Amino acid sequence: MTSPDQLRAGRAAPRLTLAATDDEALVRTTIVRVGAPYRWPSATWSDMAWADWFADPRRQSFLVRADGDVAGILETTVHPPWEVEIVSFGLVPEYVATGIGGHALTLAVRLAWNLDHPTLNGVQRVWLHTSTLDHPNALANYRARGFRPYRTQTRGHVPSSG
Q: Please answer whether residues 72 and 133 qualify as being in contact, where contact means their C-beta atoms are separated by less than 8 angstroms.
A: no
Please report the pLDDT score of residue 92 as a whole number: 97
> What percentage of the chain carries pLDDT values higher than 90?
79
Architecture of domain 4-145: 3-Layer(aba) Sandwich (3.40)
The pLDDT tens digits for 23-43 are: 999 999 999 999 999 999 999
Using DSSP's 3-state secondary structure scheme, residue 34 falls into helix
The pLDDT tens digits for 93-116 are: 999 999 999 999 999 999 999 998
Spatial distance between the Cα atoms of 36 and 42, rounded to a whole number of angstroms: 8
- The answer, yes or no, to whether residue 151 has pLDDT greater than 80, is yes
Using DSSP's 3-state secondary structure scheme, residue 45 falls into coil
Q: Please answer whether residues 43 and 52 qualify as being in contact, where contact means their C-beta atoms are separated by less than 8 angstroms.
A: no
Please report the pLDDT score of residue 154 as a whole number: 81
Please report the pLDDT score of residue 132 as a whole number: 84
User: What single-letter DSSP state applies at residue 12?
Assistant: P
Whole-number Cα distances in Å, 26 to 33, 51, 58, 68: 10, 14, 19, 14
Give the helix/strand (H/E) hosting 85: strand 83-91
Mean pLDDT of 61-89: 95
Mean pLDDT of 141-146: 95
Query: Quick one: pLDDT band at residue 11, thresholds 50, 70, 90?
Result: confident
**What is 126-154 written as a DSSP string?**
EEE---TTS-TTHHHHHHHHT--------
Query: Quick one: pLDDT band at residue 162, thresholds 50, 70, 90?
Result: very low
Domain edges within the chain: 4-145
Please report the pLDDT score of residue 20 as a whole number: 92
Please report the pLDDT score of residue 32 as a whole number: 97
